Chains A and B, each alone.
Chain A
């Protein structure tokens, strides 16, 4: 007797040990996402810093 199709994911999940998931691996996506986050935050902070230097009060107004 085979299980109905909609129950198959539940049966897979029931066989998993704690800490495992239906999706195995994928760390490359995790590192890529966090790498993008760190790089974007650093680059935007740098851009603000560089623009801050150029947005000083002009000499004529000091």
Chain B
């Protein structure tokens, strides 16, 4: 499989996302095209990973988990970086749509992070002999899951949209400090988890299939984040427009209004 085909898919996904951002009128249909590309990419990417990719010289067929595990973790980090950016931007601009974007990206990042870590454990059992080890990469990944679960839990406990957005932004910024440590942990410490590989360090077919699956999951990440953002925006609009829709303990109701 030639590498350029994967780069074409990746560019198509990024290009459509650019159109989606730049031309609001296209948002009603661009996400549907991305969804089709994502689902089609995952189906074909699964076939490529399971049937076309050559076996690895050391890990045999078990390494085929990589074609799902690595893009999932990349997508988690991407979504959580957007969460960080939106959190910082919210503190400056106090725009609740940025809070909605933060919320959406935190959930999508946590979703991909969770399945990425789960797949890592499944891969670890036949290659390392253990499901889990407290090595720096795995430990920082576990911290990531715990911290962003806490971030989403915090959002459930605060009813006031303004307070929730501010507190969440602060937590989102603090939580993001784990992300560079997670990424560089395999370089900073000599650990069980292998270091990142690049295009020049692996078979071109393997790299091409990895990029194909990355592009497909990127399309789905955009679709998931966009749909989750719409849900968050609708919830926000309801909260702002209808204070009575909030739980009874969220604020005082004037006695004359009762």
A residues bordering B, Cβ < 8 Å? Answer: 13, 16, 18-27, 29-30, 32-34, 36-38, 40-41, 44-45, 48, 51-52, 55-58, 60-61
In the docked arrangement, what's the CA distance between A37 and B73, Å?
Answer: 12
Interface of A is mostly: helix
Q: Decide if B122 touches A23 in the complex (CB within 8 Å).
A: no
Given A40-B115, A52-B230, the answer on whether A21 and B56 have CB atoms closer than 8 Å is yes
A46 to chain B, nearest CB (A): 12
In the docked arrangement, what's the CA distance between A26 and B65, Å?
Answer: 10
Instruction: Name the residue among A25, A33, A58 with the largest chain B CB count within 10 angstroms.
Output: A33
- Cβ contact of B126, chosen from A23, A44, A45, A52, cutoff 8 A: A23
Q: Decide if B242 touches A58 in the complex (CB within 8 Å).
A: yes
Given A40-B111, A55-B230, the answer on whether A23 and B68 have CB atoms closer than 8 Å is no
Q: Decide if B62 touches A22 in the complex (CB within 8 Å).
A: no
Note all chain A residues with C-beta closer than 8 A to B96: none
Q: Decide if B230 touches A25 in the complex (CB within 8 Å).
A: no
Q: Decide if B126 touches A29 in the complex (CB within 8 Å).
A: yes
A-contacting 9-mer, from B152-160, B176-184, B231-239: B231-239
Q: Decide if B62 touches A55 in the complex (CB within 8 Å).
A: no
B residues bordering A, Cβ < 8 Å? Answer: 42, 46, 49-50, 54-65, 68-69, 72, 111, 114-115, 118-119, 122-123, 125-127, 220, 224, 227-228, 230-231, 234-235, 237-238, 241-242, 245
Note all chain B residues with C-beta closer than 8 A to A48: 224, 227-228, 231
B149 to chain A, nearest CB (A): 15
Note all chain B residues with C-beta closer than 8 A to A26: 60-62, 126
Task: Offer 9 A-B interface pairs, CB within 8 angstroms, sorted by A.
Answer: A19-B54, A21-B58, A21-B60, A25-B60, A29-B65, A41-B220, A44-B111, A55-B231, A60-B242
B99 to chain A, nearest CB (A): 16
In the docked arrangement, what's the CA distance between A55 and B232, Å?
Answer: 8
In the docked arrangement, what's the CA distance between A44 and B62, Å?
Answer: 26
Note all chain B residues with C-beta closer than 8 A to A45: 224
Q: Decide if B231 touches A25 in the complex (CB within 8 Å).
A: no
Note all chain B residues with C-beta closer than 8 A to A22: 57-60
- Cβ contact of A20, chosen from B55, B63, B227, cutoff 8 A: B55
- The chain A residue sitting closest to B125, CB to CB, is A29
In the docked arrangement, what's the CA distance between A44 and B118, Å?
Answer: 16
- The chain B residue sitting closest to A26, CB to CB, is B62
- Cβ contact of B234, chosen from A34, A36, A55, cutoff 8 A: A55
Note all chain A residues with C-beta closer than 8 A to B60: 20-26
Q: Decide if A36 touches B54 in the complex (CB within 8 Å).
A: no
Note all chain A residues with C-beta closer than 8 A to B118: 36
B243 to chain A, nearest CB (A): 12
Other 17 A-B pairs with CB < 8 A, given A30-B50, A58-B245: A18-B54, A21-B57, A21-B60, A23-B127, A25-B61, A26-B61, A29-B125, A34-B65, A37-B119, A38-B42, A52-B227, A55-B235, A57-B234, A57-B237, A57-B238, A60-B242, A61-B238
